[in-house]
Amino acid sequence: MAAVVEAAEGGRPPTAPRARRRDPLRPALLLLAAFALALGTFQLAAGTQAPVPYWVPLAFTLVYAVWAAAGIIAWWRRPLSATGLLLLVGAIAVFLGGAGNLGLPGLDQLGAVFATLILGVTVHLLHAFPTGRLHGALSVTTVAVGYGVTFLLQMPLYLLPSEASGLRTLAEWVQSVTGLAVMVVTAVVLARRLRSADPRNLRVLLPLYAYGIVAVLLIPLSANLIGVLGGDPVLVGGVQLVVLAGVPVAFLAGVLLGGYGQTSEADALSTWLGTAAPTRTSLGSALARSLGDDSLRVAYWSEERDLFIDEDGDPTDVRDQLPPRLWEEVRVESRLVGAISYDGRMISDPESVRRAGRVLAIALDRERLTAALVASNDALLRSRLRLVETADRERGRIARDLHDGLQVQLVLLALEAQQIANSDDAHPATSEAATALRHRIDDAAAQLRRLVHAVLPSALVERGLTAAAEDLVDRLDIPATLTSDVDDRALEPATAQSAYLIVAEALTNAVKHSQARSVAVELRREGSTLGVRVVDDGRGGALLENGTGLKGLADRVDALGGSFAVTSPVGGGTEVKVVLPCGS
């Protein structure tokens, strides 16, 4: 049975996909795989001449292959973890345990010495998973006692002569009882870890821990139960071998299904941060994947609120937590910028967290500088928008003052001039002069109305952008069309007035400068933007830099956060295309 137990531990180490560029581990793992294949082939070949049925070395070889493959996979995916090494040691233990069945000189003695080593390695693996390191005095003591059972208490079984049957029986009993205690303590430790595990890490921990609890209890109980029932010792060994073969299988379930992902080093993480523009959410996820802890969380220090906040801006305190949760501050020089909270059972090396923290500090400082630049740019845009709105309000005030003040006075003056002209006692020359004055006053009032209309068209104020644009199109001396699907109620005043001024300027240029024969105006609402397009069939050649009309409108559109484009090939007409942000 002891030999069976050992052979079950030869396994396959999970190889962790490290960065494929400049990866010295990969050829080493390929060499290990070749060596493992050679050992398995040797065992199968030697098993054909063994004094035991061929299925025995075949079974040991299969279990050995499972442990070896799991070890290579583990080492590949987590190069900095000792889990892969433990699985490979287990594979060697299975091989040595099975080698005792081959009947070859020297291998019989090795099989006897290492017959139960796989049990100690299994206990070590379960206590050290997933970091490969032992945590806590209880785990360290349990593993040490486990190796004592497999080495020290194994010694009487192969050193005592066969005549000392009483002592051998006593040694076997002590080994069995102590081994059972080690297995029970291991099951309790795993159960406690499962209960206290972060739910986000259960995908990794549950397959191996749950199966491990069953395995460490089933291995000693199966031997006692089958022995009490008078079963064949070969059956006991076969059951234990099958149970031990399931340990790396459970590990692989955690690897493939649970997200025991490939970890990366700080330089790979730094490269990713340098080429991407990560959000806070993606930054935390990248760190969690890099360090192999799905429960890892990044907190950000808010200087304004004097507390830590999470990715959503909600207060959080990474310092208010108990082991196994640990945390590391992230600083840029001496300035606190954040903290990393992680599970000490998933990440055994605090220095790896500190290295990641230094990379995170660079990203957070870049984020701070970017945020300051964005805030400065936003402030500039808001300032320019306020200038546009202030100019519009001032233009409206001037237009109202002209309409309500000067225009009224001109109307009154025209009436007085007409009264003088119509007076019965007025001299004919005076009547003629008064009539001429009234005409000049009417002309001045008409010019004033046109000026007021240009500054603040009444149609735009009273009926909206579409009606005002229609009024502009109707006044043209050339054929013109207007297409609009705009709801005027949804437009901000600055947007509506800008669109009107663009249409007015473009139509004026089409008639006066482009010598167009026809013109088309389009007003389209597209989501949260307003599209303005004016196309004519004139001579083209218009440049945005020439003159002040279009250039001034382009500056206005830029201040509103829109886009302004003029396409005017010589002889191909002119297209003015503008996109403006608008209210919802």
SS (H, E, C) 150-165: HHCCCHHHHHCCCCCH
Q: 132: alpha, beta or left, given left = phi > 0 and alpha = psi -120 to 50?
A: left
Token representation of residue 108:
């019989």
154 to 1, 114, 117, 161, 162: CA distances (angstroms): 13, 8, 9, 14, 15
Model pLDDT, residue 228:
60
Q: Report the DSSP pairing between strands 307-309 and 297-302.
A: antiparallel
Token representation of residue 445:
């009032």
The CA distance from 438 to 476, in Å, is: 29
Sheet holding 563-567, edge to edge: 480-484, 519-526, 529-536, 574-581, 563-567
Pick from 37, 68, 183: nearest CA to 122: 183
Tell me the H-state helices in 422-567.
Answer: 428-455, 458-463, 465-474, 493-512, 549-559
Beta carbons within 10 angstroms of residue 370's beta carbon = 11
H/E segment holding residue 413: helix 407-421
For 486, list phi and psi in degrees, rounded to 5. -90, 135
Model pLDDT, residue 431:
78
Task: Show the low-confidence residues of the chain (pLDDT under 70).
Answer: 1-24, 224, 226-233, 255-282, 348, 367-372, 375, 377-381, 383-404, 407, 449-450, 452-459, 461, 545-548, 583-584
Three-state DSSP class for 580? strand
Model pLDDT, residue 471:
85
Three-state DSSP class for 330? strand
DSSP string, 499-539: HHHHHHHHHHHHHHTS--S-EEEEEEEETTEEEEEEEE-S-
Model pLDDT, residue 125:
93
Model pLDDT, residue 19:
40
Residue appearing with tokens 């901000």: 492
Three-state DSSP class for 18? coil
The CA distance from 326 to 194, in Å, is: 18
CB 128 within 8 A of CB 82: yes
Pick from 283, 219, 284: nearest CA to 247: 219
The CA distance from 91 to 84, in Å, is: 11
Beta carbons within 10 angstroms of residue 579's beta carbon = 18
Beta carbons within 10 angstroms of residue 369's beta carbon = 10
Q: Report the DSSP pairing between strands 335-343 and 307-309.
A: unpaired
Q: Report the DSSP pairing between strands 480-484 and 574-581.
A: unpaired
| Cα dihedral 337, 339, 340, 345 in deg (nearest 10) | 160
**DSSP conformational letter for 405:** I
Burial 182-200 (b: 16+ CB within 10 A, else e): bbebbbebbeebeeebbeb
Taking the whole predicted model, whether its pTM rises above 0.85 is answered as: no
Q: Report the DSSP pairing between strands 563-567 and 574-581.
A: antiparallel
Beta carbons within 10 angstroms of residue 302's beta carbon = 13
CB 94 within 8 A of CB 4: no
Model pLDDT, residue 5:
34
Angle, CA 106 vertex, CA 102 and CA 111 arms, to 5°: 60
